[in-house]
Structures are given as C-alpha cells and as structure tokens.
Chain A
Amino acid sequence: MKQGLDVSASSLVDDAPRRRRKPFLLRRKVQRRVLPWVVIILLFVLWEIVVRVFGIEQFLLPAPSAIFQAGWQWRWPILDNAWQTFMTTAVGFFIAVAFGLLAGIAIGSSTMVYDGFYPALIGFNTIPKVAVIPILVIWFGVGTVPAVITAFLLSFFPILVNVATGIATVEPELRDVLRALGASRWQVIQKVGLPRSMPYFFASLKVAITVAFVGSIVAETVAANKGIGHLMLVASSRFEVPLAFAGLLVTSVMGIGMYLIAEVVERRMTGWATRGVDGGMTAQG
C-alpha cells in the first residue's frame, strides 16, 4: 500500500511537465510577433539586391533605399497628403458604416423590403465605381467630396449584406420564444438579430475599410488636388518614381493600421463568437 503510494507519487513527479523556458526568439508568441517583420525586411533586402545586381533604372523600379530616401526628403508633403486621404477615407467609411447598418437592419428584418430593394442594390453594386467618379466631379467639382463618396460607395455594400444576413437568419425557435413573450419585431431585432449579426458586421468592417482606401485613392488620382492618390499621380508624371512608391508604402501602412484597429474592436465586441481560439473552460456533466 505504502509502496504503491510511493510509486505513484514518484511517477507523478516524473510525468510532471518540467519545461524549461525556451529561448526568447523560439517562443511561439514571440515568433508570431517577430516573423511578419522578418518577412517584410527580407522582402525589402531581396528587392534592393535585385535592383542593384540587375542595374534596374530608377524610373522603372526604384530600390527600397531610394524609396525611403525620397519618403524622408518629401516627408511633409507626404504627411500632409496622407492626412487628407486618411480623413477622406474615414469620413466615407463612417458614413458607410451608419448607412450599411441601418439599411442592413431594414433589409434583413423585412422580407418585403428585401424583395423590393435587394435586386436594385445588387444591380447598383455591379457598376464599376471608377466610372462614377467623372459624374461625381460634374456634380461636386474636383476635390474632397468625390473621394469621400467613392470611398462610401465601395465600402457600404459588404457591411449592408453582412448585417442583413445576420438579422435574416435568426433561428425561428428563438423568434418564437421571444414572440410568445409578447416581444415586438423591433425587440426581436434588438435582443437577438443585432447581437448575432455583430460578428458578421465586424468581419465586414475589415473588408470595408480596405476597399474604402481603394475608393478614396482612385478618386484622388482621377479628380483631386490633394491626397496620396494625387501625390502619386503628380510624382509619376514628373518621373519621381521613388516618391510615387513612397506614397504607395504610406497607403499600405494606413490600410494595415485601420485593419488592425477593426480587428481589435471585433475581438473586444464579439469574443463569444471566436470562443475556440481563446480556449475557454468547458464544463462536462
């Protein structure tokens, strides 16, 4: 008896995972943070080497060093124009969020609104938005407004579709439970439809913010006198190709930044939908 106890005790000690802490750079968490940067830096290094070894002309493909140099040299105009693009995109995006949410609720909660409006919306969404910009210029003139509207036009559709889907797919039994309590249609939307469409909504924000940038920059290259799109157009027309590339770089940094913000908000708001990832505790029995 006593021996048996001893055996189990010692085997417990032996089996107990005595993991030594791994070296800093080999830890999984650290790797996940560091690896993306390593990949980006390697890409730039490779790019630099290719440009130098093959002697590629700067107006065809500038080396990263030249791009960063141009970026630093023109830092104030770039920042100024980047701020313009950022504001344009943000305004268009937030209008898209408000409109997409409201229209999504309306379309998702009523089959009549859905049947009536959805085909028209799909038809509208198939129009290439670049083709609309000249018309916007006729209406609003060259400047900020067409860019804001283009950003809005591109980004509201994914939001609308996702919110509408979330609300339209409420389980019938759940709806019965609430209606048998005397809940109004708006209460069913408020208590069940909206919360359950939130994961769809935040997923769509990530798509929407990216295409909003596409919209504002395209509009700026076509019809604006300010903004990163305009700056790149001017730079390439003056064969300042490194500056054009610097603009591109700034755009992608802004896009990634907005995407990350959307992701953080998503995780905060709808942690319940990604429960598997955080490994919540599970009760049995």
Chain B
Amino acid sequence: MNLVDLDRVSMRYGEDDEGTLALHRTTLKVRTGEFVAVVGPSGCGKSTLMKVVTGLWPATAGTVCVSGREVVGPLNIVGMAFQNPTLLPWRTTLANVMLPLEIVKPHCSRLKRERVAYEAKARDLLALVGLKGFEAHFPWQLSGGMQQRASLCRALVHDPSLLMLDEPFASLDMFTREELWLALQDLWLARKPTVILVTHDLREAALLSDRVLVMSARPGRIVAERIVELPRPRTLEMTYDAYSVALVHELREHISSARSSAA
C-alpha cells in the first residue's frame, strides 16, 4: 500500500504564471514503511517537494494523496527535522522532545494523565540516540550533533507514520554524520515509519534508503530511480564495498546529466 502518492504535481511560487516553477509534473509513490531518499542538484525543488507532501504549501496542479486521502491542509501525522535543529532554547532537551505530544491530537489530551509513561518514552528515545543523561540540559549546552539527535527524537516521539527529513545531517562533520546515520537506521528499524529523506550526500542515500530518487534541476521532477539491495542492518563498511561505490557513481552520473541538461 502506498502511504504517499503524488500524481503529476506541479508547484509554482508566486501568484501568477510569472512565478518560479519549482516542481513540474512530479509523480512519486512511497510505500508504507519504506525509506526513500531524494537526491538532486542544489535548488532542484527537493525542499518544495517536502512542503507539498506535508500539505504546508498547496500544489499548483496535480493531486497529493497521503494514506489514501487527498491532502488539502497541513497533515498532523508528520514528524519533521531540518538541517537546523530548531530546538526551543527555553526548554530542556526532554521538554523539547515532548513538544509534539502537547500538540498532536490523541496525545495532547492524554499527556496530563499519563505524563510518566510519555516521559519514559521520550527518555527511551533519547537513550537510543545516545543522549542519556542530557535530558535536563538546555539546547545551548549541547553540541551541534547532540542537538540534531534531539531534533530527530522530537520528530519521532509521537510515532508519526511519515517522517520527513530535510538534509538533517548537512551541517555536521563527517564523523558525527556517520554516527547519526547509524542512529537513524536504528530508530527506523525499531519503529518502521515511512521516511522521505532529502539529502545531498549520495553515500548517505545509499546507506540508509530502500530506494533512491534522483531529481532533475529546476523545475524539478524525478528522472531516475534506484532500488538499494543491501541487507539490513547496514554498516558503514558497506558504503565502501563495490556495490555501494557503483551505486554512488551511477547516482552521480544522473545528477551531473541532470545539471548539464538544465544549463
């Protein structure tokens, strides 16, 4: 079953035909529980794709369906994480992670009565990404990598059926990034949400996803698709074996041709 179903979706910024066309007749299907990575040259409309799927921005043309229903306004089943961790500086790490529970429908009414259970859940999540002992710290007391981990936990705490990640590791150093790849894989294997990961990093896409989609330069649409046939759980070593290297090379080819065709 498809959780996300985009049918010939176009998205144009601005109010008339003069605006920039960011997405052009994009068709995209993501199965429930699937981990999909979207790669492409910069400015190809990857972030626009995220906003359209989550209903934050309405599509100009075409239909967007999530879990069988057409998207008309912001969805409330989505967890999001961005390049910038966007934690609230006046909340502790634990309180930051618990923020979605105060808003999302079934949880917010139960939160008062079952505070202890929910807190335990948030603590478990933090422990899973290696933040045990930092629950009472404030964001500015954490390093960039730790903040990003907390941001991932915040995106996952309400058990979203759809997780949207917009270059969540782009501003981190290589070692922290690799560590977080594995942390994300653990989180995904433990709960199996549907994930759409937008990234510039082809190794990241090859390591984490079941399927990699390549977008063309603006106006964006999907020009290539590759299934990643690596067993799970995957290890960092796998990104250097022949299969992954060939895959990354192939994806690179697609992206360079997408860039040159735009130029």
Contact = CB atoms under 8 A, between A and B. Distances in A.
Nearest to A272: B90
B127 interface: no
Contacts of A195: 88, 90
Nearest to A175: B56
Contacts of B142: 283
Interface stretch (B25-33, B100-108, B205-213, B232-240): B100-108
A51 interface: no
A182 B162 CA distance: 13
B141 A176 contact: no
B74 interface: yes
Nearest to B142: A283
Contacts of B104: 181-182
> Which residue, of A176, A195, A280, A282, has the highest number of chain B Cβ atoms within 10 A?
A176
Sorting the interface of chain B by its residue count into under 10, 10 to 19, 20 to 34 or 35 or more gives: 35 or more
Secondary structure of the A side of the interface? helix
A273 interface: yes
A171 B155 CA distance: 17
A272 B82 CA distance: 23
A75 interface: no
A282 B100 CA distance: 26
Interface string A192-213: 1001101000000000000000
B186 to A, nearest CB: 19
A225 interface: no
Nearest to A178: B103
B86 interface: yes
Contacts of A272: 89-90, 138, 140
Contact of A173 (B54, B84, B154): B84
A54 B117 CA distance: 79
A280 B56 CA distance: 37
A177 B74 contact: no
B183 interface: no
B252 to A, nearest CB: 29
A16 B90 CA distance: 37
Contacts of A270: 90
Contacts of A173: 82, 84, 86
B4 interface: no
A176 B103 contact: no
B76 interface: yes
B110 interface: no
Given A181-B158, A182-B76, A283-B141, A191 B99 contact: yes
Given A179-B56, A275-B138, A191 B90 contact: no
B143 A177 contact: no
Contacts of A191: 88, 99, 102-103
B140 A275 contact: yes
B61 interface: no
Nearest to B162: A180
Contacts of B100: 181
Given A180-B54, A182-B104, A191-B99, A283 B137 contact: yes
Given A181-B100, A280-B138, A176 B76 contact: no
A177 B80 contact: yes
B118 interface: no
Contacts of B77: 182
A174 B141 contact: no
Interface string A228-257: 000000000000000000000000000000
A182 B103 contact: yes
B241 to A, nearest CB: 29
B246 interface: no
A17 interface: no
A284 interface: yes
Interface in B77-94: 77-80, 82, 84, 86, 88-90
A38 to B, nearest CB: 36
Contact of A180 (B78, B105, B140, B146): B78
Contacts of B78: 180-181
B260 to A, nearest CB: 32
Nearest to B137: A283
Nearest to A271: B90
10 contacts: A174-B86, A176-B51, A180-B54, A180-B74, A181-B158, A182-B76, A191-B102, A196-B88, A273-B89, A275-B138
